[in-house]
A and B are shown apart, each in its own frame.
Chain A
Amino acid sequence: MTALFETTRLSKSYGVLKALEDVTLAIQDGELVSIVGPNGAGKTTLVNLLAGLLAPTAGDVRFLGESVAGMGPVELADRGVARTFQLIQIFPQLTVAETIAAAVVSRQKKRWRLLTRLAGDAQIGRRVAEVAEIFGLVSRLDTLSANLSQGEKKLLDIASAFALDPQVILLDEPTSGVSTADKHSVMNTLIAAAKAAGVKGIVLVEHDMDLVAAYSHRIIALSEGKLLADLPPERFFADPHLIETVIGKRRHN
């Protein structure tokens, strides 16, 4: 069976700095794969390469068997790859409904409708309401994104990515800036939303090892740009040396 995502000896350098080196991995249908590693390990670089935002220096990225290396985020979004960013990304002057609608417009391929009334398109309106419902944003649909709380902004950022009805979603620290108590509820919402939307695979970049342990089917560990491990959680967490390399000495302190 063709993997959702596949990388072959993927490398990315910035001048002499090797951000990612010879990384070969595959993400299969139905998997939630976590990418872990210390700061500067190359996690975000890997996500940016998968999302088409960066072109690799060497190697290849294939999505459903097709080479998508450096293809660009728009083309990948059209093929069914959505992403969220580590730092919250919103459209400050747009309402919650407009933000979600922007993704729905792309998904329904209505972007070149120059003279149709957006507000009059029931198909878009219906989908916006559905997505808002899943993420608990219904009461905020007419609120300007800039006026949302931090937690709501994060939810909106993720909700808009889901509104693309992606096959794969790349989540770069979706719970950063969310209180410890709320992290599991955000993750549960995300996974329920992914199931409801028919998302086939989730790639999660995460620092919180409790979340990684609780939700991952497989863990990919990076260190200094290299692939350190690609293991199921039970085997990953059975290796103390690996854990120490990935999260440093924080746990022991």
Chain B
Amino acid sequence: MKVTSAGLVAIFGIAALALLPLVAPPYYVSLMVPFFGYAIALLGFNLLFGYTGLLSFGHAMFLGFGAYGAAIVAGVLGIKSFEAVIVVVALASMLAALPIGYLCVRYTGIFFGMLTLAFGMLFHSFLFKFYHLTGGDSGMRVPRMSILGLEFAKYNKIEFLSGPFYYYCLAQLVLASLLMWRLVHSPFGLHLKTIRDNERKAESLGVHVHRFRLAAFVISAGFGTVGGAILGFRVGLADPELVYWTQSGQLVFMAVLGGFSHFFGPVIGALTYLLLQDQLQSLTQYWRFVLGAILALIVIVLPSGIAGLIAGLRDRVLRSMA
């Protein structure tokens, strides 16, 4: 049943997202590109949070790895194929995540959260202070790259982002979701869930707690990096603000808003957050206040998030039909 509902969400989601450029103005369609970036990053974030039970407060660091990595590989090294950039940057980021994760996964709960926050802030300070390397507060330029070997030179930026790049990112999200779906439904994914639920019992059943936490950390770093590369590509800039701790908080917000106990919850959360932010920003300068109030309300009234609400409604309908 659960498989079917996740499948339904996926089919409706893909259909709606595929049709959007046909009905919405290009500018709004291009605004959806960050959604794809965040959604991919959140799939990884939730492998760590929803499936392994580790809440990272420094995950924006990996968005930064992606954006700055793209700026270095495409801008400095001159590799202008986005696929090659993504592969190189994701692998490098996963390699960098190994020692960071090795230190962090020895701790759980608030200590894990604080350590990841500390690493995130360290990276932010590095980006900010090492001006000659990173461009400091001006960031680094992320040049336009080819996708699937095609330049799309005749398209202006908005046309490119709302057309080919939009569909390219949609395909990436579909691929990332399929990959994550396989991961969480594999024997490996089962062992991650045992760690989330009861570490002591898991160990007694032969679950390598530390190694598996580290693996989840490294994989989630890979997803975060791909998301970050998309975000950097869209703006054309790798900006230190992308790594600031409030960005990590935003990822947590999105996951909670959508419902981290459900596979597509964080993806739904990312979409809702970005649409809400866009609407609120155009309505009031106090949009952060309203967003904060909404988060507080969600935690109190709807702890399982929007996906939990949908699942609850579905169960009620099914029960009334039975």
Residues of A near any B CB (own CB < 8 A): 51, 53, 72-74, 77-78, 82-85, 89-94, 98-99, 101-103, 105-107, 110-119, 121, 124, 157, 160-161, 163-164
A119 adjacent to B185 (CB under 8 Å): yes
B84 to A: closest C-beta gap in Å: 23
B205 adjacent to A77 (CB under 8 Å): yes
Q: Which chain A residues lie closer than 8 Å to B197 at the CB level?
A: 90-94
Q: Which chain A residues lie closer than 8 Å to B212 at the CB level?
A: 111
In the complex formed, the residue of A with least CB distance to B3 is A119
Q: Which chain A residues lie closer than 8 Å to B189 at the CB level?
A: 118
B316 within 8 A of A: no
B185 adjacent to A105 (CB under 8 Å): no
Q: Which chain A residues lie closer than 8 Å to B198 at the CB level?
A: 89-92
Can you list 30 A-B contacts (CB < 8 A)? A51-B204, A53-B203, A74-B207, A74-B208, A74-B209, A77-B204, A78-B206, A85-B200, A85-B201, A94-B190, A94-B197, A102-B194, A103-B205, A103-B206, A106-B191, A111-B191, A111-B208, A113-B187, A113-B188, A115-B183, A115-B186, A116-B186, A118-B186, A118-B187, A118-B189, A118-B190, A160-B205, A163-B205, A164-B205, A164-B206
Residues of B near any A CB (own CB < 8 A): 179, 182-183, 185-191, 193-194, 196-198, 200-209, 212
A73 adjacent to B187 (CB under 8 Å): no
Residue in B190, B194, B206 whose Cβ sees the most chain A Cβ within 10 Å: B206
In the complex formed, the residue of B with least CB distance to A105 is B187
B105 to A: closest C-beta gap in Å: 15
Q: Beyond A113-B186, A114-B183, is A89–B201 a contact (Cβ under 8 Å)?
A: yes
Docked Cα-Cα span, A124 to B208, in Å, equals 19
Known: A94-B197, A114-B183. 9 other contacts (CB 8 A): A89-B200, A89-B201, A94-B193, A98-B193, A102-B205, A118-B185, A118-B186, A164-B205, A164-B206
In the complex formed, the residue of A with least CB distance to B210 is A74
A110 adjacent to B187 (CB under 8 Å): yes
Judged by DSSP, the binding face of B is helix
Docked Cα-Cα span, A105 to B208, in Å, equals 12
Docked Cα-Cα span, A78 to B207, in Å, equals 10
Q: Beyond A93-B196, A94-B197, is A102–B204 a contact (Cβ under 8 Å)?
A: no
Docked Cα-Cα span, A118 to B187, in Å, equals 5
Q: Which chain B residues lie closer than 8 Å to A118 at the CB level?
A: 185-187, 189-190
Q: Which chain A residues lie closer than 8 Å to B191 at the CB level?
A: 102, 105-106, 111
Q: Beyond A110-B187, A111-B187, A124-B187, is A117–B182 a contact (Cβ under 8 Å)?
A: yes
In the complex formed, the residue of B with least CB distance to A163 is B205
Docked Cα-Cα span, A73 to B183, in Å, equals 25
A72 to B: closest C-beta gap in Å: 8
Docked Cα-Cα span, A163 to B204, in Å, equals 12
Docked Cα-Cα span, A103 to B209, in Å, equals 14
Docked Cα-Cα span, A128 to B82, in Å, equals 45
| Ranked 7 nearest A-B pairs via Cβ | A106-B206, A91-B197, A77-B206, A89-B201, A105-B187, A103-B205, A73-B203
Contact of A90 among B185, B187, B188, B201 (CB under 8 A): B201
Docked Cα-Cα span, A105 to B186, in Å, equals 10
Q: Which chain B residues lie closer than 8 Å to A74 at the CB level?
A: 203, 206-209
Q: Which chain B residues lie closer than 8 Å to A84 at the CB level?
A: 204
Docked Cα-Cα span, A74 to B206, in Å, equals 4
Q: Which chain B residues lie closer than 8 Å to A53 at the CB level?
A: 203
Contact of B188 among A85, A111, A163 (CB under 8 A): A111
In the complex formed, the residue of B with least CB distance to A110 is B187
Docked Cα-Cα span, A73 to B201, in Å, equals 10
A176 to B: closest C-beta gap in Å: 16
Contact of A91 among B185, B187, B193 (CB under 8 A): B193
In the complex formed, the residue of B with least CB distance to A157 is B201
Docked Cα-Cα span, A160 to B183, in Å, equals 23
Q: Beyond A102-B194, A107-B206, is A121–B200 a contact (Cβ under 8 Å)?
A: no
A144 to B: closest C-beta gap in Å: 11
Docked Cα-Cα span, A53 to B209, in Å, equals 13
Q: Which chain B residues lie closer than 8 Å to A163 at the CB level?
A: 205
Q: Which chain B residues lie closer than 8 Å to A99 at the CB level?
A: 194
Docked Cα-Cα span, A83 to B200, in Å, equals 11
Q: Which chain B residues lie closer than 8 Å to A92 at the CB level?
A: 197-198
In the complex formed, the residue of A with least CB distance to B188 is A114
Q: Which chain B residues lie closer than 8 Å to A51 at the CB level?
A: 204
In the complex formed, the residue of A with least CB distance to B206 is A106
A93 adjacent to B193 (CB under 8 Å): yes
In the complex formed, the residue of A with least CB distance to B183 is A114
B309 to A: closest C-beta gap in Å: 19
B199 to A: closest C-beta gap in Å: 10
A202 to B: closest C-beta gap in Å: 16
A112 adjacent to B188 (CB under 8 Å): yes
B198 to A: closest C-beta gap in Å: 5
Q: Which chain B residues lie closer than 8 Å to A73 at the CB level?
A: 203-204
Docked Cα-Cα span, A113 to B193, in Å, equals 15
Docked Cα-Cα span, A114 to B179, in Å, equals 10
Contact of A82 among B190, B200, B204 (CB under 8 A): B204
Docked Cα-Cα span, A51 to B201, in Å, equals 12
B10 to A: closest C-beta gap in Å: 16
